[in-house]
Each structure stands twice: as structure tokens, then as C-alpha cells.
Chain A
Amino acid sequence: MVTLTIDGRTVQAEEGAMALDVAQEKGIYIPTLCAHESVTPYGACRLCLVEVKTAAGRERLVTSCLYPVEEGLEVITNSERILRNRQTIIDLLLARCPESTVIQDMARELGVEKSSYHPEDHGNCILCALCVRACQEVVGVSAISLVNRGVEREMAIPFFDDSTACIACGSCSYICPTSAITMEDSGGVRTIRMPNNETEFEMVPCKVCGNYWMPRKQVDYISRTKGIEPEFFDLCTTCRD
């Protein structure tokens, strides 16, 4: 355990825990868009900026989701300087995603009503890679990644058209903070819409109630990796109890 201060409050934390997690645990709010408890931190959105001062006296602005705490650290989560930086970041995001209600709300919260940049609608994706991390770390299939570089960076399936690895579980759409990926089930078909691709997947029906309840590829994947008989998925969770 190490002792540090956050906004003047003395707190104890596990050495190496990320400053963001420590703050949140103590009920201190830090705005974030790309942090999620189920995946490793990535530092993409930069909104979680805080000021730190180490015991040795070194002062810096850092992304709290990626900053491990240490003995004697002083963390400030809210200051004029931090706010100014967060405003610039959300201002840029607002110019990129003018239609995203999540970004609009976050901007308002930070006191930015209108982007001071020329808005250029790039859809709702903020390139946070939450979908990519969830697909890799939680689902374990790595069907998607961030591709290209610079202004051409996008989240995508390989070659923008190869969904072989995707099991249609929809985790990417659940975790996406800005609803840039959406999912729709209708008539035995699940449609996953990504910023640059739309793919349809077959669903399997429950043998009792007839409701389509799981994508065929997800059934295959779970039975293959967990060694469960495919017949196990004949009944939906409701009809099983």
C-alpha cells in the first residue's frame, strides 16, 4: 500500500494502481471516454488528464487512466489548467463528431457549447479502441482493429470486408461509448453496423419458444472453445429455467 493525496485528501491505495481507478474508488469524478473496467487502459481520449506532483517534486499533466500511483504522490483532478486542456480536447472531438449526443453532453459538462473548430462529421467513432480491446481481451477473437494511420485512422474488420473472425456477439456495440457501432436483431438475422461496414449474421432459434436468441457463430465459438455440446444451445436462457 502507498499513501498519496487526491485533491488534498489523503488516501491509501495499492502501489501501481492507476490514479483514475483510485480516484473513482474514493468517489472522485474524473471525466473519461475510453476507460472501462473490463479492459486494459489505453489513453486514447485524454479527457482523464490530471496534474501530478511526485515526492521528488516532478510536476506533470498525465492521463490518470494510465498513471500508476506511488508513495507521496499528489494528484489534482480539477484545476484551471486541467479544465482548459479538457476543453480543447472535447472541442476537437465535438468538431469530429458533431452529431454524437454523448460528445455533446460531455462538451456541455465541460463548458463547451459549440466547437470553435470547423465541424467535419466523421460519424460517431472517436477511435477510443474500446471495441478493439473488448473484442480481443474479453471475447478473445480479435475480429476488429484500428487500421491505417493519421487522419485515415478507422476501426475496421480486416480489409473492411472480412468478418470471418467475428462471432456476432455484439460486445463492440455494447461497449462503444458513442454508439458508433450498432446492432439490430430482426427475423433471425443480427445486423452489426460499423462506421464503414454492415454485416448480417444468422441467429439460432430456441427449440421451445422459437425466439431467435444467439448468433450461430457465437454458438459454434462457445462450443468449440469451452467444449460444450452445441445441443446445449437448443434452449434459450428463459426456457432453460
Chain B
Amino acid sequence: MTIDAEQIRDKVGSVLDKYQRDKGMLVSILQDTQAALGYLARESLLEVSAGLEVPLSQVYSVASFFRAFSLKPRGRHLIDVCLGTACHVRGAVGILEAIERETGIKSGDTSEDMRFSLETVNCVGACALGPIVIVDGKYEGEMKIDRVKPLLASYD
């Protein structure tokens, strides 16, 4: 999924307009940009910086700080594995390893066929249901290693 420069200028332009080019809305602008384009491409950050007249170093600092932002293209489906304390003691690491085996990628990476991106989080506030795996925002509670394969198979 590569995006061309014109598309970026277009999308970032309308996001900037929506926020009236307000520097104080940088985080929201980056969020909307990522939602519109899938990830924060280098050119997107250049456009945001120029459009808001905020130095690129500051835009990059914010974009690289928050876990929610991705500077690399992401897969069609995002898998979040909770490694918070409660999920951890209920075997989250085993689940993560099973997912890594199944997808062939490590946490933080995207599979070559762009099918999955894998990330870990620390507690999503559903500890009673741990271990928790979230695929595209959908919570899968009480995960078991043998449920990993069928779960992933349901996403193309």
C-alpha cells in the first residue's frame, strides 16, 4: 500500500482545514492523518509541518512518541496482544509467541503480505477477561494458544 504524493497532500490538506491549521491540535491532526492514510508517511509529516508551521523536528518528536502512531505502513489487520500484569500471569507471553509463530512476524512488525501488524500493549482495562488479544479493535478474551490459529484464519 503505497500512497502517492498528491493523495497525501489532498488528505493532509483536508485534515488541516478541519482543524483550522491550529498548532495546538497537532496530536488530533496526526491521528486523523493516520486514519485517512493508514500510517504516518514521511511526506505526511512534512505536509503537516509545513501546513502548521511547526518545525519538522517537533512533529517527528510527537509522531515517534505515541504508540498509537505508526511511521511504517501497517497491515490490513492490527493485532494487539495485552502484556499487562494480569494478562501476563495468565499466559499472555505464550499467546504472543503463538501469534508470532502463526504470522511469522515479531511484535512491532508487519507481515510481508500486509495481512497483519502485531503490537503489544500494557493493560487495556479488561483484566478479568485476560489474556486479551484485540484484532482490529475487537476484544478476544480468555485467549488460548489453540484458539490463535482459527482466530487469525478468520481475517483475510
A141 partner residues in chain B, CB cutoff 8 A: 55
Flag if A147 contacts B64 (CB, 8 Å): yes
Flag if A145 contacts B42 (CB, 8 Å): no
Report the nearest B residue to A142, measured CB to CB.
B55
- Nearest Cβ in chain B — how far from A136, in angstroms? 8
B interface, by DSSP: helix, strand, loop or mixed? helix
In the complex, whether A237 has a CB less than 8 A from a CB of chain B is no
B42 partner residues in chain A, CB cutoff 8 A: 159
CA of A146 to CA of B61, assembled, Å: 6
B55 partner residues in chain A, CB cutoff 8 A: 136, 141-143, 145, 165
The number of chain B residues with a CB under 8 A from chain A is 13
- Nearest Cβ in chain A — how far from B122, in angstroms? 11
A interface, by DSSP: helix, strand, loop or mixed? loop
Flag if A149 contacts B56 (CB, 8 Å): no
Report the nearest B residue to A146, measured CB to CB.
B61
In the complex, whether A157 has a CB less than 8 A from a CB of chain B is yes
CA of A225 to CA of B45, assembled, Å: 25
In the complex, whether B7 has a CB less than 8 A from a CB of chain A is no
Flag if A158 contacts B57 (CB, 8 Å): yes
A143 partner residues in chain B, CB cutoff 8 A: 55, 57
Which chain B residues (40-60) contact chain A, with CB distance < 8 Å?
42, 45, 55-60
Chain B, 124-146, contact with A by CB distance < 8 Å: what is the 0/1 string?
00000000000000000000000
Which chain A residues (58-99) contact chain B, with CB distance < 8 Å?
none
- Nearest Cβ in chain A — how far from B35, in angstroms? 21
CA of A147 to CA of B61, assembled, Å: 4
- Nearest Cβ in chain B — how far from A108, in angstroms? 34
B67 partner residues in chain A, CB cutoff 8 A: 149
CA of A228 to CA of B147, assembled, Å: 70
In the complex, whether A20 has a CB less than 8 A from a CB of chain B is no
Q: Which of B45, B55, B67 has the most CB of A within 10 A?
A: B55
Residues of B with Cβ closer than 8 Å to A? 42, 45, 55-61, 64-67
Q: Which 6 A-B pairs have the closest CB atoms?
A: A142-B55, A145-B61, A145-B57, A158-B60, A147-B64, A158-B56
User: A148-B64, A149-B66, A165-B56 are known contacts; what are 5 more A-B pairs with Cβ within 8 Å?
Assistant: A136-B55, A142-B57, A142-B58, A146-B61, A162-B56
